[in-house]
Amino acid sequence: MYELKDRDKIIVFTGPDGSGRKSVAEAVGHTFGMDKVISFVTRNPRPGEVNGQDYHFITHEAYREMERQGEFLESVEISGHLYGIRSVDIENNLYQKGSVYLILNYEGASILKKIYGDKVIRLFLYADRRTVEERERNAGLTEDVITAHLNYYDLEMGNRTTCEHAFENYDLGQTTYEITNTLEAYLQRDLVDKD
């Protein structure tokens, strides 16, 4: 088992669905050369989602078997589906790169914080309810999915102040810039500003 080093960092993007976590996380991950830990999930893929890239899509039975084997570091149920991340995936990424990122709901972010303490930096992204709803509709999500996501909006927003950092996301470029600057202090990669 990999023993975490002092400087290892686990970056968790959290906040309501549609706040732009994935868009920002991908850009920031690319800048810092960080990879995403891909969750296992029991729901079916949505149009455009790729197995092994967006999620590892598995059956309920396969998920329960992995759970029995103690593979999951955290495992939660959201809207009737099971979501989990494997300890080994976090550890391998840290071993190879010293940092890693995840996109989780607040429950998952809190579990990681409890386990890894100061190594976890929770970045909370948000926008108002109407904006996230509109974004999800424009992204082609079905009304069922949008409703399920919006049911969690107030709960997720209630956790804004307990995260290490919070960012309003209306201007994607600006949000990405602010988060990159924030993370630079933790990851100390000495990025050169080419603008």
Ligand X SMILES: Nc1nc2c(ncn2[C@@H]2O[C@H](COP(=O)(O)O)[C@@H](O)[C@H]2O)c(=O)[nH]1
Ligand Y SMILES: Nc1ncnc2c1ncn2[C@@H]1O[C@H](COP(=O)(O)OP(=O)(O)OP(=O)(O)O)[C@@H](O)[C@H]1O
Closest to 100 in 3D by CA, of 12, 1, 4: 12
Q: Which residue has the tokens 């709803």?
A: 133
User: Are the CB atoms for 73 and 57 separated by under 8 Å?
Assistant: no
Site string for ligand X, 7-26 (x = CB under 6 A): ----------x---------
Which range of residues in 61-69, 72-80, 135-143, 185-193 is near ligand Y by CB under 6 A?
A: 135-143
Which tokens go with 49?
A: 């989602």
Q: Does 92 bind ligand Y (CB under 6 A)?
A: no
Residue 17 touching ligand Y (CB under 6 A): yes
Contact criterion met (CB below 8 Å) for 77 and 40? no
Q: Roughly what angle, to the nearest 10 degrees, separates helices 143-151 and 129-138?
A: 150
Backbone angles phi, psi at 28, to 5 degrees: -70, -40
Q: Which does 106 bind (CB under 5 to 8 A by kind): ligand X, ligand Y, none?
A: none
The binder of ligand Y chosen from 42, 75, 159, 169 (CB under 6 A) = 169
Closer residue to ligand X, CB minimum distance, 33 or 45: 45
The SS3 call for residue 39 is: coil
78 lies in the binding site for ligand X (CB under 6 A): yes
Amino acid letter, 10:
I
| In the complex, least distance from residue 172 CB atom to ligand Y, rounded to whole angstroms | 4
Residue 83 interacts with which of ligand Y, ligand X, none, CB < 5 to 8 Å by class: ligand X
CA gap 172, 14 in Å, rounded: 16
User: Which of ligand Y, ligand X, none sits in contact with 105, Cβ below 5 to 8 A by type?
Assistant: ligand X
8 or 17: whose CB is closer to ligand X?
A: 17
Per CB under 6 A, residues contacting ligand Y are 17-23, 103, 135-136, 139, 169-172
